[in-house]
Chains A and B, each alone.
Chain A
Amino acid sequence: MTRIAAYGTILLGCLYFIMPMIGMAEFSLSMRRGVYSLDAYRVVLADPQFQATFTYSLVMALFTIIFGVLLVVPTAYWVQLKMPKLRPVVEFVTLLPLVIPAIVVVFGYIRLYNTSGWLPMTGSVMGTNILLMFGYATLALPYMYRAVDTGLRTIDVATLTEAAQSLGAGWLRIMATLILPNVLGAVLSGAFLTLAIVIGEFTMAALLDRPAFGPYMQILGANKAYEPAALAVIAFAITWACMGLIQMVSRLSKHKRA
């Protein structure tokens, strides 16, 4: 009896999650009356706005990932190696973006960096793009830091560093040839999570008025019927592809025990 109840609960849970998706997918295929078709997808993919905003968000994601890796890997490494006592503080700081809403962060940015501020970053397109990238990096920080920190904990950072130093290596070489390759799986996990966050982010891009994918989805959703459903399916596919890639990368590392 309890077993049946357990399976029943699981089934109910699955239906709760899967039904809306099936409904959405079904709806996205129903643009042509009476038959299933990919018309909604065709319209979305052919829309120059889709291509432009998607490309913009991809490029932003790429820069966010590069910036995030350059910021997080050395920081996590340094904290682990030289300042283990500071770890709780750094962990707390990296978790802040989870409790501070994006809208608060972006308002703070706009107040601080507007054209009459001391650093008028919103005064130019490039400046605003950079500001948005910092915002994205902040949003992705909890995921990126946690992934990299976990990766670093699986290796003996201190001894490996000393071994490399005794062989004449400097910091740059240690970071590039030893630390980064050993946490590559973790870094890529963080990178794909960042990609998923940046692709779907709305608040920051909308308030900084940048032509990103998130605001495009919102505009489309407010004005069209079938296309937003197709877009949502595409966004899901991208997120799932990212998760699949995380799995694949962590399995493909040659130097790790299978």
Chain B
Amino acid sequence: MAFLDLAHLDKSYGANHVVKDFNLAIEKGEFVSLLGPSGCGKTTVLRMVGGFEVPSAGTIHIDGQDVTSLKSNQRNIGMVFQAYALFPNLTVAQNVAFGLKVAGVSKAETAERVTEMLSLIGLADLGNRYPFQLSGGQQQRVALARALAVRPKVLLLDEPLSALDAKIRASLRREIRSIQQRLGITTIFVTHDQEEALSMSDRVVVMSGGRADQIGTPHQVYNRPATRFVASFVGTLNTFDATVTDPATGTVRLGDSTVVLNRPVEAASGAAITLALRPESATLGAGNPGDVTLMGRITEVQFLGAIIRITADLGGHDLTLDTFNRAATPPPHIGEEVTISLPPDGLVALVA
């Protein structure tokens, strides 16, 4: 059994079935993100792990122990909330010490642990401040220190960066990941921000409608989305209608071209499927042998700095492609006729 094991979790509120047969096994020290739109059940799963919601069915094991029926204050978990949730009547140091005091840790050890935690989050000098005297980013770091001070078995992060502005969000993202790796603490991170999930996690669980659509590394989830939902939710995507001609070799018909994906497709011969392609997989101009080449006319050019995002009209069907900006090559002009190559490697067959 994995260190944190969620088996067949189900949760209903009356007729509203929010989590459906959710299974997830997390190894010790792993950082797993639950990613999905609002209402997909990700926060409910986290709250069930935290003991704030009782599952309608299923079990939760932490380190071999069945904690399904334990209260949240008996589970030894650390939780960080979107709204920081620092205790307003306590100073930063007292906030961090709160859990240790509850656990009956000696005064000397508490003081030592508080100092250690505050220097871990880089706020060693602010122990005597009250929460209202700190910025949002600082408050969230204190909340992290408070959660980590009790040395929890599992750290739960409920959209901890959502309330912060973009710059602080990016730096805190790196900080959280680095602290997590240093301490080797098993972590579940809930977010609706794909960039956060992909950049921080060992594995990402993409959820929709109360189910896990795909569980995989960020690389797998991004490059080999298992379902149409995952493909559309994570990153930008071009889709094409195609017909399967040989499922075993993954040979499909795309317009006038035959494409060999070199991967089996789970659909019958003659079945209509959707092929998906990331904007960065397509290239302008003739590509490598075996690539599908299409003719199109440029309709939009967005200069984004490092990347140029080009939209082309392929006879009534729009395709978006990203190319790196190079000083020597100016971007194409709107209205220009171009050849676009799609590598079979970048094409993903979406059956589900």
Q: Which residues of A are interface residues toward B (Cβ below 8 A)? A: 155-156, 159-160, 162-170, 173, 178, 181-182, 254-257
**A168 to B51 CA separation, bound complex (whole angstroms):** 11
Is B132's CB within 8 Å of the partner chain A?
Answer: yes
**A162 to B49 CA separation, bound complex (whole angstroms):** 13
Pick out which of these stretches binds chain A: B34-42, B82-90, B212-220, B272-280. B82-90
Minimum CB distance partner of A181 in chain B: B89
Minimum CB distance partner of A254 in chain B: B130
Hey, what's the 0/1 contact readout for B44-78 against A, CB within 8 Å counting as 1? Answer: 00000011100000000000000000011110111
Residues of A within 8 A of B342 (CB): none
* Cβ-defined contact, A165 with B72, below 8 A: yes
Could you name 8 residue pairs across A and B whose Cβ atoms are closer than 8 Å?
A162-B79, A162-B85, A165-B73, A166-B73, A168-B74, A168-B150, A169-B99, A255-B89
Residues of A within 8 A of B146 (CB): 163, 167
Residues of A within 8 A of B89 (CB): 178, 181-182, 255
Task: State which of B83, B87, B132 has its C-beta within 8 Å of the C-beta of A257.
Answer: B132
Task: State which of A163, A173, A181, A254 has its C-beta within 8 Å of the C-beta of B85.
Answer: A163
Tell me the chain B residues, 122-149 only, with Cβ under 8 Å from chain A: 130-132, 143, 146-147
Residues of B within 8 A of A160 (CB): 85, 87
B71 to chain A minimum Cβ distance, whole angstroms, is: 7
A174 to chain B minimum Cβ distance, whole angstroms, is: 9
Known: A155-B88, A160-B87. A169 touches B51 (CB 8 A): no
Is B306's CB within 8 Å of the partner chain A?
Answer: no
B91 to chain A minimum Cβ distance, whole angstroms, is: 8
* Cβ-defined contact, B72 with A166, below 8 A: yes
* Cβ-defined contact, B83 with A168, below 8 A: no
Interface size class of chain B, counting residues whose CB lies under 8 Å from the partner chain? 20 to 34
* Cβ-defined contact, A156 with B98, below 8 A: no
* Cβ-defined contact, B85 with A256, below 8 A: no
* Cβ-defined contact, A164 with B87, below 8 A: yes
Known: A178-B87, A255-B130. A168 touches B103 (CB 8 A): yes
* Cβ-defined contact, B73 with A163, below 8 A: no
* Cβ-defined contact, A166 with B132, below 8 A: no
Is B102's CB within 8 Å of the partner chain A?
Answer: yes
Q: Which residues of B are interface residues toward A (Cβ below 8 A)? A: 50-52, 71-74, 76-79, 81, 83, 85-90, 98-99, 102-103, 130-132, 143, 146-147, 150, 156
Task: State which of A167, A181, A256 has its C-beta within 8 Å of the C-beta of B132.
Answer: A256
Quick one: which of A165, A167, A168 has the most chain B CB within 10 A?
Answer: A167
Minimum CB distance partner of B152 in chain A: A166
Beyond A163-B87, A167-B99, A168-B99, 17 additional contacts (C-beta under 8 Å) are A162-B72, A162-B85, A163-B81, A163-B143, A163-B146, A164-B87, A164-B98, A166-B51, A167-B78, A167-B98, A168-B74, A168-B103, A173-B102, A182-B89, A255-B88, A255-B130, A255-B131
B52 to chain A minimum Cβ distance, whole angstroms, is: 6
**A257 to B129 CA separation, bound complex (whole angstroms):** 12
Residues of A within 8 A of B102 (CB): 167-169, 173
**A163 to B80 CA separation, bound complex (whole angstroms):** 8
B274 to chain A minimum Cβ distance, whole angstroms, is: 42
10 cross-chain pairs, A with B, having the tightest CB-CB distances, nearest first: A167-B99, A163-B85, A166-B79, A181-B89, A168-B102, A165-B72, A159-B85, A165-B73, A255-B130, A255-B89
Minimum CB distance partner of A162 in chain B: B52
Known: A155-B88, A169-B73, A182-B88. A163 touches B79 (CB 8 A): yes
**A169 to B131 CA separation, bound complex (whole angstroms):** 20
**A164 to B77 CA separation, bound complex (whole angstroms):** 11
Residues of B within 8 A of A256 (CB): 88, 132
A145 to chain B minimum Cβ distance, whole angstroms, is: 22
Quick one: which of B71, B83, B98 has the most chain A CB within 10 A?
Answer: B98
